[in-house]
Amino acid sequence: MATNQFEVFGVDMRDGGRLWLAAWRDILFGDDSPVRQQLDSMVSLIRPDGSVTTYQASRQIDHPPVTLEAVALPDELVLSRTLQLPTIAEADLEAALMLEVSASSPFAPDDTAAGWRIARSESGDQLRVDLAILSRGAAMAYLSDSHDIHDPLAKELWADCGGNWVVLRGFGEGRRESDYRRRLWWAGGWLTAALVLLLALAGLSSFLSGRDLNNLAVMQQETRAAAGEALKLRDELAEVNTAIIELNTLRRELPSPQLEIARLTELLPDSSYIVQYTQNGRNIRLRGRSTDAATLQQALTDEPIFLSVTAPQAISRVGNTDVEQFFLDLELKVNR
């Protein structure tokens, strides 16, 4: 049952506007956009070995070097990873990736630079995100030593991530982006003018010929098309709802090991430590040492987060020391 009046099949329809905008951004500004492939500026990419190749909208083309240049960073300066996300995350993808950069970057926030490339899977239900993170200071040091460049806005910086080139933000890509937006506005203006002229001619033709019957037929076809789109949207929403249910089920059945390790770190006293941690779904096996293993077992048993705490092996003393070795099996509760 929907939790509020805006929820349909488990999806908040208030996100519809953001999803619509995200679709248009993908069509006009996406890395694989057919519009960008026609209107984007060509860039000469200077590789670490000194070779130069020309690209347009992330595609290598057979063209002599051009004045707009980008520098390819060596792999050792870049931290890269590939993410697989459902398309429902596209509405908040920018914010999600910024959080991912903040969480994954080992550098200071002011020293962190990042970029990403987004592509859709062949089935269209997944997003592949190639993410690159680097230190601004290390990048500027490389530009200064290898290319005698001291202005971060002088050239674009690209990084090879998963076999794809990723443009790093905050460097010289602004010039190419401005040129592309200007061409996009220019092309959009001409297209709008052509559409207005076409509509005017169609309106004049309809007025002169008085084809009322044809207009009724067009309206009937549009109504059928709208009904078909509504049915298609209903099926898509049902698929999204099923995916969300499956994801929630997996989240409940497969708790995060990082979360449980952090929880145990807080629960264990300074006199106890874990030697071996094994987790299979909601079942955790611990092997560790403590000065008072029995008290530790009782303390974990009293924690409401655990359904059961058992010792598969007896507590044993380690040599002639006061340290005891313990084995514990923990079972997490389902609803936490």
Supply the pLDDT for residue 196: 92
Q: What is the pTM of this model?
A: 0.51
The answer to whether 257 touches 283, Cβ cutoff 8 Å, is no
d(CA 296, CA 313): 15
For Cα atoms 180, 185, 186, give the angle at the middle one, nearest 5 degrees.
95
Structural class in CATH, domain 257-332? alpha beta
d(CA 229, CA 223): 10
* Whole-number Cα distances in Å, 69 to 111, 147, 160, 328: 23, 12, 16, 60
Number of residues that make up the chain:
336
Supply the pLDDT for residue 236: 83
The answer to whether 172 touches 154, Cβ cutoff 8 Å, is yes
Supply the pLDDT for residue 29: 65
Supply the pLDDT for residue 70: 93
Other residues' Cβ atoms within 10 Å of the Cβ of residue 315? 16
DSSP string, 68-113: SEEEEPPGGG-EEEEEEEEGGGGGGHHHHHHHHHHHH--S-GGGEE
The answer to whether 120 touches 154, Cβ cutoff 8 Å, is no
Supply the pLDDT for residue 2: 47
DSSP-based three-state secondary structure for 128: strand
Q: How far is CA 62 from the centre of its chain?
A: 32
d(CA 97, CA 103): 10
Per-residue pLDDT of the chain (336 residues; tens, 9 = 90+): 445 555 555 555 555 666 666 666 666 666 677 787 788 889 999 999 889 999 988 788 898 988 899 999 999 999 998 888 877 777 678 888 898 899 989 999 999 999 998 888 777 678 888 999 999 999 999 999 999 999 999 999 999 987 889 999 999 898 988 988 898 899 889 999 999 999 988 888 777 777 777 777 788 888 888 788 888 888 888 888 888 887 777 666 667 788 888 888 888 898 899 999 998 888 999 999 999 988 988 989 998 988 899 999 988 888 888 899 999 999 988 764
The answer to whether 66 touches 54, Cβ cutoff 8 Å, is yes
